[in-house]
Structure 1
Amino acid sequence: MEYKFAKRIQNLRASEIREILKVTERPEVISFAGGLPAPELFPVKEIKDVTRLVLEENGAKALQYTTTEGYTPLREWIADRTNKNMGSSFGYENILLTHGSQQALDLTGKVFLDEGDVVLCESPTYLAAISAFKAYGCRFKEVPTDNDGMIPDELESILYSTQNVKLIYVIPDFQNPTGRTWSVERREMLVQAAMKHNIIIIEDNPYGELRFEGEMLPSVKSFDKTGLVICLGTFSKIFCPGYRIGWVAGEEKIISKYILVKQGVDLQCNTMAQMEIAKYLELYSIDKHISNIKKAYKRRRDTVVKAMEEEFPEGVTFTRPEGGLFAWVELPPDVDSRDVLQKCLEKNVAFVPGGAFFPNENRQNTMRINFSNMPEERIVEGIKRISDVLREFIHAKLQASLGD
């Protein structure tokens, strides 16, 4: 039967990560694929106690509908935390709770994007943001990006030469997929350029608190004097992803539009989840929990970097992130990481090919490595398996070139 789907559906594709994760659910697979937190660090006992307390103290309210904006005590905590970490001046009325930052991305598309509008992004950028925005018929312009962030002259050139630019989407801290962090100068430059052209900036910050070394840098928002920067955050990486609670923080006039579109999607986030998180934050130290996460992830970052330094063949380069969950690998130009992945899966090891993180360019000689989810000994073994496959591919390409 022929179904009459909406036009927007025709260009949507399944997430490469989600498809790969179906394979990596097998316990024998060493997975560097998903951006999964370490499950052994989830505070299960504390959450069990918190759940009981919420039901005992306020069970009827916890099981009832709540406002679209979300549970006020939790919004107040988020506003205070955002102000402390990002140099903003938000109150609870500036916060909308969402089903993870992924819903915040989708709502952003609903609020701002019309067919044919342009989104500027880093090159590469977060593939699920590409998927969320693409559903609204936008086009992407990749701003040339180096280890310090978007290159200022390139950004200015694109802004002057491109019509219908609606959004600039960035992940300045421990970026997904590269793990890179923007310099302070580039952050300030970005805001100045956006103010000059009156363009909204979406500052996505799921990893900012997961810094292993060095000082926390001023946020993009901290340079914003006109309310053009909208901040996205989530509990998924600093607490528990299964709660699916994130947020949008911005000017009240902007948040009111987000509230309208969220009401048409799901009315509200899970009341019980919101109240459980708020109760945990009241009774326990989230800073101590985050500190434990960072210690574990730093060990795993150190392990994956050391293993790549020792095992990866010549011609393969990679980033050394100061925090977050990811490292980025670049292969010789003629090696396709999709082909490498197929061979790696035969050896029960997985990663995400990098091409999907480029909305236009599709550079296939790249890959993303997640180091947060596997214990150290499996990281070492997994990198060895990937290295063996890479040597085979690079040797085969070399032999082919000599044959030519």
Structure 2
Amino acid sequence: MKNFKVFDGNISSPIGFLASGVHCGIKEKNKDLSIIYSECPAVCSAVFTKNKVIAAPLVVSKKHIEDKYAQVIVVNSGNANACTGEQGMKDAELMVELTSKKLLISKENVIVSSTGIIGVPMPMDKVKVGIEDGVKALSKKGGLDAAQAILTTDKNMKNIGVALEIDGKKITIGAMAKGSRMIHPNMATMLSFLTTDAKVEPTFFQNLLQEVTGLTYNMISVDGDTSTNDMVVCMANGLASNKEIEYDHPQKDKFIEAFKFVHEYLAKSIVQDGEGSSKFIEVQVIKSPTEEDAKLAVKSILNSNLVKTSLFGEQSNWGRILCSIGYCSADIDINSIDISIGANNAIVKMFSKGKALDYSKTEASEILKNKDLKIIVNLNSGDKEAVGWGCDLSYDYVKINSAPIA
């Protein structure tokens, strides 16, 4: 039983958070600039891409997050402000300066983020107008506009709200994300933002985000590419007036459970919106000697183009799954592994203890017709496990990513 309630909420649902999303002309149409604002300084945690090619906004935001506090996030879509040299840094810093002046807050309390095409200078005349309009449009009802404004080629908005009780106080978490769609030069862009009115200790909040990221966003795959602009940013303003949540708080596990659920929901939503995908795939590796070995096996399966294409073709090709496990660096013994596929409570074991099983091809074929599939790998060599999510690789992926950028 969950210790929280999921509702149709968004980034502006928690107490003291306002949001907006406007169109300023970075993109030809649709909203393209979003602002998320806390009415008071908030504890802030963040994780950033591990790509060595890092966009200018991330360089600026990394500096601003060092004190673990922020009050506003300004995000534009349509232009990544990546690989734009010295001018790109100046533009990211100008976005911070313009936002801080309009909201009368410290520049160090502004987080800046961008997503879109790489290598193109920012149209700062349009961005300036967008920031002015975005600040004017800030409202309690602006969460959906904000979620729309961070999208690039996404098919769907990704929002969620969660409510729970801690210390007799109602705690609300709201969040939004974009991704995992492709842009020039075909890198997967992922942005995720979370707000909560909970009072949270800064170091606990940062460590929690890093841990949860490892279990959610770092366990998804669409095509194996990592963006120059990926970031996850969370703000907690404390206006719910609960006792500070930290390692010794007796109800910290309730908050951790809800926090993880929100990020897992967004991670899965990103995969479900994967470019050209027709199947959502969950991979579970169980009875592993270590959690790290389980994660390595999960990721190897999810990143295998041969596995992805066979699932798109609805083929029960356990050999491709086994092969992808075999070339990862996990500690495995082929004579111990079981491989099964499943969907809708039906499951077929195809491989066990070093050899193929005489399984029903008809039953496997029926399972593979489902949109949501599950691959279960039992290493039979420990008590650790891991789970991750991905999608198939279709003709449409190639069509989309070989077409000129509009």
Q: TM-score, normalised by structure 1?
A: 0.23
Q: TM-score, normalised by structure 2?
A: 0.23
Bigger RCO (CA 8 Å, 6+ sep): 1
Q: Which has the higher strand share?
A: 2
Q: Which has the higher helix share?
A: 1
